[in-house]
Structure 1
């Protein structure tokens, strides 16, 4: 059904031209990130930074065209001039060179069972004889140490690296194993990004079959950092069937899915 609506949206937008261009915006590949949530449509139109300033009426016209589709009641069009960011930039092969696969576990909504799913998956893979570790990327609310009954602080070993915590044969690194539990993490985006990369690259992981990355809720700095700088093998999206949790579709447009888990 969503695919049919998306095709209708693209067909409708073929009548729309950016001033000064003969081809329509669909033919030019300007339309992206189409997201259909029930009767509401979100999409992006790529324009140059210079064009964006004078295209306010163009955006309104695009929204009106989309709303003329019978099954669409509301449309939100965003004009974007962001440069495409090269994916999977290489990162120094220091302590992660022996990690075979990176799998992120994410959700857009909090409290849907994402961290529990991460731990269950880690235990299942461990029982299959795999070498498994978890990177807890939730800087503001780390829960992996609690779920795996891990306490104490990570030890600093040679080359100023951290020794990962471990229980049940699963290695773990979390901000909860670095700072005091009573400390409030009032950090801005750059500090969050730096902390995540520090916990990834400055930890003596050893040989791993899979490093599971427990993502924080939302679609913020942590998600962009991980999607851009870590060579992910895939992402598992966790949600519940309630409408409030279905904002998970926003994150699906940021990262490729490995699987979709409905956690009843």
Structure 2
């Protein structure tokens, strides 16, 4: 993966500020909610097919992944990709935890998939022996190869929405055995924070150490602490509990 500057999701100045979504609800609720069919994505992107969006689970609720769901990495980048299928309909999320945030929709025809997004992202893929391989492109990223495999327990594609003080937020996470990529965006499409966490291991290389140091320099330790406090206050589903642990790793040295 390329070395990039990445951000841990900030608490938006308060530990109690909720992650999330682009919904129509204007109440002052900070509790995460399941994805609404009415929500929008970033500026210039139309929301994926509403029925598919509604099936993407929130990390804060014990809801199973769509079956099947596949997750993997994009060659030569920091981006992860997740694909989910319901019948012949498919949705994909491409995210690098920095700026890249693209939702694509399309269909599966036999063992071939084709998806696109209003902002010009495209994906073509094929399935063989339960593994999805293909090519994906997005604004600022030319064609790249990817491989995605069926999700393991507690991994997958997650999305949550909420409203705080009349402002909508949306959160998208991709959790894989190797780490997490995700972004938090306001309803107007501006990015308010992101996450790119590699699971800690004894073989962590210099690139990972450098990225961790960059994150510490970019964000005040108090912000990272507040974010972790917010996560701890949420229902401790397996994805959230794992995120608490992974975010704590990023705080080492604070």
Task: Say which structure is richer in helix.
Answer: 1
- TM-score (norm. length: structure 2): 0.25
| Larger Rg over CA atoms | 1
Which protein has greater RCO, CA pairs closer than 8 Å, 6+ apart? Answer: 2
The structure with the greater share of residues assigned to strand is 2
TM-score (norm 1): 0.25
